[in-house]
Structure 1
């Protein structure tokens, strides 16, 4: 019988290294995929995932099983991505005078396939709260209820955001096709 994530997390919070290793093995790819969707760049996602994994032994001590482990873990990833964004913005402002930002932007665009590049570009044009909502509900198939719990908002707000995302992405695509 497979031990639940919540039981493993509680054991890991109490210092069980094997439980922690099992959780990490189960969820590493999920953390990376969400980090990639939140950052839009593989290198940043790898760095963010590694930072999260390094901090997780300390953070898991605060897990109290008041929510599903995956919900708690997604919140950890979203918070880490927000922190990384703030650091990145600060770095970009410092580097803007030297053209580093433009060189990085062009290198990022060259790395991605056209379809993936468009989606990430479109996501970057969305307000931050819509980006976070889309990242949580994409591929990992989080329900609106689970995404609402991660984001600390109502399920109805998640549903509205998803409707707004679809409307904005359609409009962006139509505008590009008209040009």
Structure 2
């Protein structure tokens, strides 16, 4: 049975009165959803509270879920909207790619795992990136998280946020430029890493 069919069976069971079935859905998706909410809020406690609220709201509105989308897409949208309403580990190592156009976010070169300082360096990099995200306006932070971290398409972001695709693109461009300026030291550091890797034998 596919995950989609399995989700539908669990939702049907929950509607029939088996509330434990919804607990299976929570367990299945909460860890996948948490990083997104954390990046949107910048606060672990708030992200956990908001995640609980999102699943509670989904449970209360389960009769409105008709299966037009995947359950995860539906709960994702609920959680993101809660995070943006002001209610307010699989993390990638990131770098801002400096080029003549925009500053896109993409996987960085990993520090050698044999380096004992590597975990601290990654933690510091993550903190700097999260601080820069926190400094963005909420609507700009949302499109960056949804596009660069979660890999959503422009059309998906536009539909979830109920804004035109052009607005998504313009917000993303401005957010990338602001992140590039705020994370200038990381941009320069990654440029040096790439340069040194090209010259290494």
With normalisation by structure 2, the TM-score equals: 0.62
Q: Is residue 118 of structure 1 aligned with residue 119 of structure 2?
A: no
Structure 1 residues 176 and 66: alpha-carbon distance in aligned structure 2, compared to 1, 3 A threshold: closer
Offset, 1:114: 2.5
Per-residue Cα deviation, 1:66-118 (whole angstroms, up to 9, x for no partner): 44433321221023222423xxxxxxxxxxxxxxxxxxxxxxxxxx9422222
- Structure 2 unaligned residues grouped into runs of 5+: 89-121, 188-201
Q: How does 1:70-149 map to 2 (within 5 A)?
A: 70-81=72-83, 82-85=85-88, 113-149=123-159
State the 1:3 CA deviation: 4.4
Q: Is 1:38 the counterpart of 2:48 in the alignment? A: no
Q: How many residues align?
A: 152
Partner Cα separation in structure 2 for residue 154 and residue 34 of structure 1: 22
Which structure 1 segments of 5+ residues have no match?
A: 86-111
Q: Name 1:7's counterpart in structure 2.
A: 8
**Larger displacement relative to structure 2 (27-36 or 45-54):** 45-54
- Whether the 8 Å CA contact 1:74–1:150 is kept in 2: the answer is no
CA distance in 2, matches of 1:176, 1:29: 28
Match of 1:65 in 2: 67
Distance 1:8 1:40, change over 3 A: farther
Contact 2:10 2:21 in 1 (8 A): yes
| Alignment-derived partner of residue 177 in structure 2 | 167
Larger radius of gyration: 2
Write out the 4+ residue segments of structure 1 that deviate beyond 6 Å after TM superposition. none
TM-score by length of 1: 0.68
Task: State how 1:47-66 maps to structure 2 within 5 Å.
Answer: 47-66=49-68
**RMSD over aligned Cα atoms:** 3.0
